[in-house]
Structure 1
Amino acid sequence: MKRLLIGVAVSALSAVTLPSVAQSNTTAMEMVELFEKLSGKQPGIRKAHANGLCATANFVPNPAMSEYSSASIFTQETVPATIRFSMGSGNPSADQRASGARGMAIQLAGPNGELHNIVGNSTPIFAAKNPDVFFGLLQTLLPGENGQVDYAKVGQYIATHPSTQPLAQWQQTTNPPYSFGTSKFFGLHTFYFVNAQGTETMFRWHITPDAGERLITNEEKAALPAEFLNNHTTEQFNQDGISFTVTATIGQEGDTTNDPSQAWPTDRDTIEMGKITLTEIGGDACTPINFDPNVMASGFKASDDPVLRMRSPAYAISFGKRLSGQ
């Protein structure tokens, strides 16, 4: 249960300008310190999504996206990308057979040094509606004086905080992916496209593997080694290649913009943003990157989501600790 819920974590960030939203009672430093308590001190390691696999890729945009966004990444034939797949927790030796969130973080390198980050999880919704409820959920996972997690207390918290229930149900019923290249990923938060005329269109992105989604069975799970996910991903890349389609779901009036624990209705229109094809797997290209999802190219805008707002200062603190060996 502990691994399941920590797997929906936030990772490493940098400060950016964000929309004005209601202040959280939980500070970014408190959030990072709580992750350190849950996973133990891991000097020089990401405080969440610690166990990862890096890759390089090309992003081929859909030219039709220029109707929605003036972003330069949609005017190029190909955009270089750095990608990091990961487990959700702050444990660098996380067992990849464990249920819970997998992460996919993408940094697109646009022209003239402009960067655009896309960060998501394999979970279709976030663990809670805001940082305070998420912080409270994680606190229930801290071991007591006997060194054990009181799962009755965890269950009681989930029962009395409805926004934590959709993800808890998803984690209990969804097995891990066979490969990072056979997993879906979801952006969780609402963003806006901004076109040349200044028109804003709200959206949530998701990524689907072109090879199709494949999860491991319970029988496979029992027989696989702890590092199977990295191994399967590398094998898939070497044998068949790995590619994904990035899609934007277009929101409508009344769809939530500030609660990532709520999914949008499934009948919303979608548009393909482009395709990502891996060109190399492994290496250390991801090490110096802070995959803050609020780092966006012009032609995009962040929403008033308080969890999205929290990510920048929390990622910045984690990133600073990592660079300084803390």
Structure 2
Amino acid sequence: MHPSTPSPAELVDALNNTFGKHPGKRASHAKGFCASGEFIPAESAAVLVDSPLFKAGRLTAIVRFSIGGGNPGVSDKSRSTRGLAIRLQGATEKYDLVLLSEPVFFAATPESFVSFLAARVADPVTKKPDPAKLAAHNAAFPDGMRQPALLASHAAPASYASTPYFSNNAFVFTNADGRQATARIVVEPAAGTRYLSADQERDLPDNFLQEELAARLANGPASFTVYAQLPAENDSLLDSSQPWQGAGRVALGELRVTALAGAELCDGLEFVPIILPRGIAPSDDPILASRAAAYAVSLARRKAA
């Protein structure tokens, strides 16, 4: 690790310093709930990846839906990211997908991650971030401006089942011929993309997403298509804060969320984006490289609480 690179503990501390410490809760995406379902691999996945996981037929899917940030009491109407974490369980392999509802991350590097959060620590008097600190961060790390701009441009999702999700990080796929391709994951909802109307944003309670999804699932599964998004020529393979133009997509399979589940299904899990099956490897994205160790620190703290 470079001497200036924040340690895994410092990454988690940055979250805690901004959102507070909430014993037993995740440092990030503290508010969420579990669900269960299945994943049906697509035949087209073989174009990109050679893995027993994609040849096994239907797989069990453990799912967690969440709201970005470390505040477990945040409003479901907040203009922040929504998270979709998935664990696909095969006979011999596991695959964790850790996804956000915006196509870019708020930091390109661990240094930017810590600075972004530090700039958002609330002033004790105003209870809001200091505008001067925000401006200083944006000047030093312009990568931190893209995701907030996207979030401000639309209302919160109307349902966890009607927002797309993105890996932000890229991964290296290898097929049976040994051919490699780098791709990001994009998950498209069958229900289409729907944001809250102005009336809904004003009138809905602060906790509506779990009940909304439960009512939706009573009428059948919430379905999503999981794609590998291929990059256009100038798309960055290392900077998760950069949007991709993209150059075609390959369907990897269909996720069907069938039921809400108790906390015991997923609260003890840490969804780690480098838990990958054969044929998929991490890229050299520095944010991706930093995540597993930071998640381990967060999990250890939760268990100790």
Q: Which residue pairs with 2:59 in the alignment?
A: 79
Are the counterparts in 2 of residues 22 and 306 from structure 1 also a CA contact under 8 Å? no
Q: Partners in 1 of 2:298 and 2:66 — Cα distance?
A: 16
Residue 243 of structure 2 is matched in structure 1 by 263
Query: Which amino acid in 1 is paired with 2:13?
Result: E
Change (3 A) 1:145 1:92: closer
Q: Does 1:224 align with 2:204?
A: yes
Q: Scaled by the length of structure 1, what TM-score is found?
A: 0.88
- TM-score where L is the length of structure 2: 0.94
Aligned counterpart in structure 2 of residue 318 of structure 1, from 298, 302, 305: 298
**Is the alpha carbon distance of 1:280 and 1:135 closer, same or farther for their aligned partners in structure 2, counting shifts above 3 Å?**
same
Aligned counterpart for 1:309 among listed residues 285, 289, 293:
289
| Match for residue 156 of structure 2 among 155, 176, 184 | 176
Is 1:37–2:17 an aligned residue pair?
Answer: yes
Tell me by how many angstroms 1:85 deviates: 0.4
Aligned mates of 1:294, 1:306 — CA distance in 2: 13
Match of 1:281 in 2: 260
Structure 2 distance, partners of 1:22, 1:40, is: 28
Distance, in Å, in 2 between the alignment partners of 1:192 and 1:269 is 16
Partner of 2:176: 196
Change beyond 3 A, Cα 1:23–1:117: farther
Answering whether residue 79 of structure 2 is matched by residue 99 of structure 1, we say yes
Alpha-carbon distance in 2 for matches of 1:24, 1:197: 40
Deviation at 1:168, TM superposition (A): 2.0
Task: Deviation per CA, 1:88-142: give whole Å up to 9, x if none.
Answer: 1111222111101000000000122x11101110011010211111211110111
Residue 7 of structure 1 corresponds to which residue in structure 2? none
Is the partner of 2:46 in helix, strand or coil?
helix
Paired AA for residue 129 in structure 1: A
1:126 counterpart (91, 105, 114): 105
How much does 1:296 deviate?
A: 0.5
In structure 2, the gaps of 5 or more residues are none
Partners of 2:5 and 2:37 in 1: CA distance: 39
Equivalent pair of 2:172/2:282 in contact (CA under 8 Å): yes
Q: Which of residues 115, 119, 128 is equivalent to 2:94?
A: 115
Deviation at 1:196, TM superposition (A): 2.5
- Report which stretch shifted further, 149-158 or 85-94: 149-158
How many residues align structurally?
Answer: 303
Q: Aligned partners of 1:104, 1:178: CA distance in 2, in Å?
A: 15
Q: Distance in 2 between matches of 1:78 and 1:23?
A: 45
Asked if 1:241 is matched to 2:221, the reply is yes
Tell me by how many angstroms 1:254 deviates.
4.1
- Alignment check: 8 A CA contact 2:238 2:285 kept: yes
Q: Is the 8 A contact 2:231 2:245 kept in 1?
A: no
Taking the aligned partners of 1:94 and 1:32, their CA distance within structure 2 comes to: 19
Q: Give the C-alpha shift of residue 158 in structure 1.
A: 2.1
1:198 is displaced (CA, Å) by 2.6
Q: CA deviation at 1:218?
A: 2.0
Q: Give, in angstroms, the shift of residue 278 of structure 1.
A: 1.3
Where relative contact order (Cα < 8 A, 6+ residues apart) is larger, the structure is 1
Task: Could you tell me which runs of 5 or more consecutive residues in structure 1 were left unpaired when the two chains were aligned.
Answer: 1-20
| Identical columns (%) | 30
How far, CA to CA, are the matches of 1:22 and 1:187 in structure 2?
Answer: 25
Q: Say which of 20, 33, 36 aligns to 1:56.
A: 36
SS at the partner of 2:229?
Answer: strand
1:136 alignment counterpart: 115
CA contact (8 A) 2:108 2:239 kept: yes
Alignment partner, residue 46 of structure 1: 26
Q: Which consecutive aligned stretches of 4+ in structure 1 deviate over 6 angstroms post-superposition?
A: none
Q: Distance in 1 between matches of 2:155 and 2:87?
A: 27
Query: What secondary structure does 1:188 align onto?
Result: strand
Shift of 1:208: 0.9
Question: SS state of the match for residue 289, structure 2?
Answer: helix
For each residue in 1:204-249, what CA deviation from the matched residue of structure 2 results, as whole angstroms up to 9, or x when unmatched? Answer: 1111110111110122111010111112111111134311011111
For the aligned residues, what is the CA RMSD?
A: 1.7
